[in-house]
Structure 1
């Protein structure tokens, strides 16, 4: 063993493998939100306050929020506030996965805040919506940021009211003291909730790995079966390719309905069994054809591509794109075929969508079609060997006749 060079190279090989797969941890370690889209609705109509004139606290809060996120020099702000006209538009945007959350300032906000200096105080309110189904990690982060913002607003309102009372030399009555200790009502509502039986909202990501591994297994088994055949002409090769495609459809049905059944059996809440099963069937078929197409050109040497896709892609699937670095967001995540599976499952699980051939499903079908054409081109790749075999057969026939 001491004479074998591999023995001394083995530490370098181990270090290389650790470094390679250590790179897969980078996105998870450096999670930092950038420009998370948040909806902002200001319906406040303002109020007239003695010795101050007309004020609009909704405008003040809006300006403060936008000033805070743009004050950091040289850094991308964590939140991107988007002005929206009404609550109805916000709810539509949340359902369409346009916003991770929303802040709504009611029309009587200034009036209620000014009432804190009167004998009949009323707490002003703000309404916060968290789009829980878009991404569990981002939803928790948005919730923390909005709660922190609510606490800052409470402190600001308390300070402003006390300063106004001091300027007007108004003494507080007992019924005014309690509202000032907590001068803001923050109403938080989770929309498109993940429920209690969805692996904390990670069910779409959790279903990826078994489907991806089973698609690799199915494609490799069918590839080995086809690779053992000897073809006399292109027509036979074409029939084999079509047989592989049919096998992929059958395996897709088994995997799609089988995985959905297993998930349901394990306690995952499956609200639409057939819809989720059909989507997983199409997803499996797309992955199967993609892997089969690569194997048809590269052989088993192409397998490391899909292993690396698993290790580098899996950590990204559980993250919001806005929490990745620009490199991972633009050059890795955007090109991952499995992200369409996770996006489609999120729509089915949390956004009350029915199965359709639009959205992520259409992209998976395009992947299937592109992979199918690449697989068909592999039939032409061995044209020379077919003609050579045919000429050998012709010579044998002529020799037999002679």
Structure 2
């Protein structure tokens, strides 16, 4: 019965509840994500049409204006961005500026106006879905655009029937056949995700073992360095330098090892083997140096920070920033080092971009450089040379 009198036993239920509360918070961002100001490009290339007695009509411009009026606002799900032509929209999709695009073609008004004639022709709009940008956001954008076109179709049907009724004209067979869908949708998925890409979450799937391997490697070497006793600061400095060099070797092993395992064993589609392996090696080296620098200054307790980042950060990597709450987007996601690894992998896996000095690479290099300098500076701490060593030197 003495066990029941121990304080830790009495505190155990509260500790368990606290742990449950803390780690339950990691579920909040992904439980019910709602888009807010999701950037979607809208392109109006409509050249208009001359209508008898009504002058020139540009239905594309009217639709674009109405769309922005009805679905815009500070808390709107979509942020419409006017783009001058389809080529510019595609460039924006490739740069991950937009999650989708709505293209209104040149002959839109002409075909729309023909619905009231004896020889009607159905109008078309093009919907581009940027699959590789983010699966959840791209699907949400696609659904919203589909619903939008259906809403426009309903308006066109009502207008056509009202006009014919006023004229006292009957609906022809050709008009009736087009009435079900006066505006057709030509849907195209760009920057497609392959069948073997974890439903578009391949970057996140690779970041998880990469991050944990970085922690494991950094802590293993830290444990060995901590046991060493240095007689000179040059010895301590050399050990820190060697610690960094070991990290470079581990980075190469992680980069090529992880890509080979993911491709050959798991079956993940990795179109650029060497570029992806080198990028993962860079990620590992930057993360390794960051963890090594923190533990060198703070000690083993500093490793807990990176464990917490893993649990709180990983769920966010599957979401687009526009689908997060302001708190998670501004105070958690924006500070996550692993998000740059995920974004860089997304460019390599889905956007057919090579390994260059883009934002993820630049940020990772900056993290690695600062971390390496801090790691070397740890050799200058008073504790870097043991007291026994100092006494021997002074003696």
Q: How many residues align?
A: 392
- In the alignment, the residues of structure 2 paired with residue 223 and residue 188 of structure 1 have an alpha-carbon distance, to the nearest angstrom, of 53
TM-score, L = length of structure 2: 0.96
**Residue matched to 2:390:** 390
**Residue matched to 2:203:** 204
**Residue matched to 1:376:** 376
How do 1:208-247 and structure 2 match up within 5 A?
208-247=207-246
For structure 1, which segment, 373-382 or 13-22, has the greater mean C-alpha deviation from structure 2 after superposition?
A: 373-382
- Determine helix, strand or coil for the equivalent of 1:99: coil
Contact 1:297-1:378 at 8 Å conserved across structures: yes
Contact 2:45-2:104 at 8 Å conserved across structures: yes
**Residue matched to 1:171:** 170
Q: Where has structure 1 moved over 4 Å in runs of 4 or more? A: 383-388
Contact 1:30-1:324 at 8 Å conserved across structures: no
* Pairwise CA distance, 1:146: 0.7
Contact 2:72-2:78 at 8 Å conserved across structures: no
How do 1:71-220 and structure 2 match up within 5 A?
76-220=75-219
- Determine helix, strand or coil for the equivalent of 2:299: helix
For structure 1, which segment, 132-141 or 58-67, has the greater mean C-alpha deviation from structure 2 after superposition?
A: 58-67
- Determine helix, strand or coil for the equivalent of 1:313: helix
- In the alignment, the residues of structure 1 paired with residue 248 and residue 63 of structure 2 have an alpha-carbon distance, to the nearest angstrom, of 56
TM-score, L = length of structure 1: 0.94
* Pairwise CA distance, 1:46: 1.8
- Determine helix, strand or coil for the equivalent of 2:218: helix
* Pairwise CA distance, 1:50: 3.9
How do 1:48-87 and structure 2 match up within 5 A?
48-70=50-72, 76-87=75-86
- In the alignment, the residues of structure 2 paired with residue 309 and residue 351 of structure 1 have an alpha-carbon distance, to the nearest angstrom, of 27
- In the alignment, the residues of structure 1 paired with residue 180 and residue 360 of structure 2 have an alpha-carbon distance, to the nearest angstrom, of 49
- In the alignment, the residues of structure 2 paired with residue 200 and residue 384 of structure 1 have an alpha-carbon distance, to the nearest angstrom, of 49
Deviations 1:11-34 (A, max 9, x none): 100110011111111111241111
- Determine helix, strand or coil for the equivalent of 1:129: strand
Change (3 A) 1:143 1:384: closer
Structure 1 residue ranges without an equivalent (≥5): 396-402
Please state if 1:34 is matched with 2:36: yes
How do 1:248-327 and structure 2 match up within 5 A?
248-265=247-264, 266-327=266-327
- In the alignment, the residues of structure 1 paired with residue 315 and residue 383 of structure 2 have an alpha-carbon distance, to the nearest angstrom, of 42
Please state if 1:332 is matched with 2:316: no
- Determine helix, strand or coil for the equivalent of 1:207: helix
* Pairwise CA distance, 1:213: 0.8
- Determine helix, strand or coil for the equivalent of 2:230: coil
- Determine helix, strand or coil for the equivalent of 1:172: coil
* Pairwise CA distance, 1:51: 4.8
Contact 1:233-1:386 at 8 Å conserved across structures: no
Deviations 1:154-189 (A, max 9, x none): 111111111111222222222221111221111110
* Pairwise CA distance, 1:118: 1.1
Contact 1:275-1:354 at 8 Å conserved across structures: yes
Deviations 1:120-140 (A, max 9, x none): 110011111011100001011
**Residue matched to 1:398:** none
**RMSD (Å), alpha carbons:** 1.5
**Residue matched to 1:45:** 47
Structure 2 residue ranges without an equivalent (≥5): none
* Pairwise CA distance, 1:153: 1.2
